[in-house]
A and B are shown apart, each in its own frame.
Chain A
């Protein structure tokens, strides 16, 4: 695989997960369980969209075809999107949103720790900046996992169900393909095997502390690496992209 193509794909992968998760979080706006939490969620959504935008700008630059970050966000189809399957899953109840967030925050935290040392200076710098935000996201979602797990019977069962339902999408976070191989050789990409180990350790610790069970399901869904998504992404993109696609060429 050509280096430039690989880097472009890699940037899209990171950017898309941020963008799609930001979209999901923003769906809560005005409907959160309490005002304070509405504000917290929007902060996190804003961090994700900011970081996703920066990554798409870099992707556009790497691609060098004159596309903008908005072209990349609004004009790619379902099969061209590279976000993790986990982040496109619908919000569900607040337990599902928190479980999804915690699983992804923990991944991002360890992933970006490693990405800080990437030989690609832009990615390394973006990672260092994002890591501060991610540290806070993880604190927020972990604290909620504890509160739901060790809260009431209802909250315990809701968050346990959420983890059980989402578990099969977590394997996809760690799948590696030729893009990774190409960039790993140059010290640009992150080796996902050690990230996975750290992720497993931390997730188990928090779940245990929250009196929750690690789901025993071992079969994992995959596919995001080559744009095979769940049905949910299509609806999400239809909503997100409708204006620029209805009025091609218009400036907003």
Chain B
């Protein structure tokens, strides 16, 4: 029987291991809250990758050149792969993918709010790769150093694959910005629409996340949202300027003393509204995933039935 004292000791050993920089593996002892947090984070992250396929998938059939079409296909495929790696990582903690998907389909599970915005023009594909993948990479590079072995290994793999996503997005924005005046307008318009959601997708200010301290101590969260956001802005603003795009934030200015950019107020009300389900595409996205699942059911059952009939031994 586990006594209170045993538990204390186990928790102490657990923390010591993390402090030393060792990874926690699936069968290791871990606090319940740690396990739950990780399942929640990994499945949310996995859902984000899968739902994220939809807004970009929108444009595969309309990509304006064969090269762009192949790149976009490969990129969206990577996202499907990322979803798989992450579901796999979550499954090491004993939750089934079916169970996680059910949560997504019934609207109980969350995913990154950014994918509830629509992709209206081709420039949105550029903006997503540049801004959304750009922000995601910063977050994921941090998570790759996290304490849970399977999650961190999945992140390492994902980060390696992500590097082209960001570049292809910026490349699209370059072509448009240096193209015809209509193309340039298209680029600026997409930038205007995606900038704030990208800023927000890194998560609310740290003063607003109550269990931040514990998560940092457990190395579940590796860096504060605000600090990742600052780095993202510092890197992205010059990239925008380089291709002649204007950041849609009249307050944005460079502070010479701190060496950082300072942004205007963030509309968190919009952020929480979208999370609550009131974004322009929440319903569509969840519906699309539900339909794929429903229409795929007979296919999965067929393969299962066939395997059963043809079992060797």
Q: Do chains A and B touch in the complex (CB under 8 A)?
A: yes
A interface vs B, CB < 8 Å?
19, 23, 26-27, 29-39, 42-43, 45-46, 49-50, 52-53, 56, 69-70, 73-74, 93-94, 146-148, 150-152, 154-155, 158, 239-240, 242-244, 247, 249-252
B70 touches A150 (CB 8 A): no
A39 cross-chain contacts in B, Cβ below 8 A: 77, 80-81, 84
Given the interface pairs A26-B60, A151-B306, A250-B179, the reply to whether A243 lies near B122 with Cβ below 8 Å is yes
B154 to chain A, nearest CB (A): 14
Chain A contact residues, majority secondary structure: helix
What is the interface size of chain B, counting residues whose CB is below 8 A from a CB of the partner? 49
B288 cross-chain contacts in A, Cβ below 8 A: 30-31
**Segment of B7-15, B257-265, B295-303 engaged in the interface with chain A:** B295-303
B66 touches A33 (CB 8 A): no
Q: Mark B63-82, 1 if CB is under 8 A from A, else 0.
A: 11111111001101100110
Kindly report which residue of chain B lies nearest to residue A244, judged by CB atoms: B64
B275 cross-chain contacts in A, Cβ below 8 A: none
A94 to chain B, nearest CB (A): 5
A30 cross-chain contacts in B, Cβ below 8 A: 50, 53-54, 57, 76, 80, 288, 292
Of A46, A53, A146, the contact of B73 (CB 8 Å cutoff): A46
Of B63, B68, B299, the contact of A34 (CB 8 Å cutoff): B299
A154 cross-chain contacts in B, Cβ below 8 A: 298, 301-302
A252 touches B64 (CB 8 A): yes
Q: How far is the CA of A250 from the CA of B66 in the complex (A)?
A: 14
A94 touches B295 (CB 8 A): yes
Kindly report which residue of chain A lies nearest to residue B298, judged by CB atoms: A154
Interface residues of B in 51-65 (CB under 8 A from A): 53-54, 57, 60-65
B180 cross-chain contacts in A, Cβ below 8 A: 247, 249-250
Given the interface pairs A26-B73, A32-B296, the reply to whether A56 lies near B84 with Cβ below 8 Å is no
Whether, in the assembled complex, B4 has its beta carbon less than 8 Å from a beta carbon of chain A, the answer is no
Kindly report which residue of chain A lies nearest to residue B296, judged by CB atoms: A33
A49 touches B73 (CB 8 A): yes
Question: 8 tightest A-B contacts by CB?
Answer: A33-B296, A151-B302, A155-B302, A33-B299, A243-B64, A30-B53, A42-B77, A30-B57
